[in-house]
Structure 1
Amino acid sequence: MKQNPRNKSKIYKTVIGMVVFLLLSVVAFRIFGKDSEPLLSRDQATLAVLSEYPGKVDSLKLQAGAYVAELQTEQGRYELKLDGVTGEILSIVLLKRTDESAVQPTPAATPAPSGGAAVTPSPAPTPGGQSVVSEAEAVRLALLEVPGKLDDVDTEIDAAGAYYLVEIHTSDGREAVVQVNAISGHIMSVTWEEPDGDDS
């Protein structure tokens, strides 16, 4: 008689364990399953790109739950990767820089002023009011902040947005890293690196 309640207890524990396992499986499938959240439409993904970076989206492909877009701006052609569900921009890569030495046509070209005065064209206004700063412009801005010789430029992106890290060697032998916002061109920070003691 004493074994019978123990057998029932084991059966109950087994049944409860199987039910808990099935419930956890269903919850895990809903959380991690591909169909748990709907993907953005192509139009929504395009708007997500253009709300962050002005320009023209030339192509948009869905790859493994993420959208890959090619964006043409005044500064060049970029490839952006977006989260297919949230539209968050995961990465941005410069594919081809626009030739900055050539005269850039503006969408609403105005005739040259009479009298031969040189006028620097301003970038065309964009729907979001933002423009992307080119690498060359970021270097120019960094060198205005810290005069010296350019060593290296890196492009970074984080939750706050994209920025350039411009490394500059100064005439007195120090090295500075200037952080330039890739949208506004504002100097975000200047970090002075310790000399490594190598005079070569």
Structure 2
Amino acid sequence: MKKISWFWLAICSIIFVIVVVSFQQFGKLNPSADMLTEEEAEKLVNERYQGRVSSIKLANQQYHIELEKQNHLYTIKLDSSSGKVLSFTQTDTETSKPTPSQSPPQKVELTEEKIKEIIRSLVVNGTIASLEKIDNGSDSFYKAIVNDIENQTTITVDAISGTVLTSTSISINQPPKTLTEKEAVEIALTQVQGEVDDIWVETENNQTYYLIKIETNDDREATVQIHAITGDVMSVAWDDHENKQKEKDDDDDEE
């Protein structure tokens, strides 16, 4: 009986160790099935930009990635769920100073066609909507706007080295909203009573909201900000410039 007890104790210990190791290997490494792992994020960046990832960390549902490419360092912000590149910024510049016996090398700018090739390599499925050369005196660079099915990307490229200075994308698709304009107006009028002068929709930081301007009976204006999906009142901003001007004019008349 004693031998049998030791045998089952050993079996239970082995099973316990296997369960603990499995939890450490699979439970912790995969906190969310919808979130890209660090390995997947690094692979995505390497395939897109053909550089070497030197660091990667997760903060606020975004991967902050440092990429080394052609002796330059870039900082990339990547959405951890969709894999969308939120920003692409060069964080260093490669400079060289001539020795006293040397004259500065002559700067030769790249052709516009070469600049377009660099831009197309960043947004493979995009179309260049505009390309503008900007000369600020000491430096020259190209600014391009590229559209694809979902995004509009603004890219700046150094006219001499071809280095990508910045790359920023915004969504060109209207985010979904469940609140109608009429419903938004009704909510706004519960906060400020008056006559609706204007209403429009804006999107910022992936949040869509209505802005409703209301004129009150005492000649003041208020802008009510309402979340387009939840209907929450986000802010009420008063613009009583006209009322203050009227009070100032009355004071001037009394004097």
| TM-score, with length taken from structure 2 | 0.34
Q: Which has the higher strand share?
A: 2
Larger relative contact order (CA 8 Å, sep ≥ 6): 1
| TM-score, with length taken from structure 1 | 0.42
Q: Which has the larger radius of gyration?
A: 2
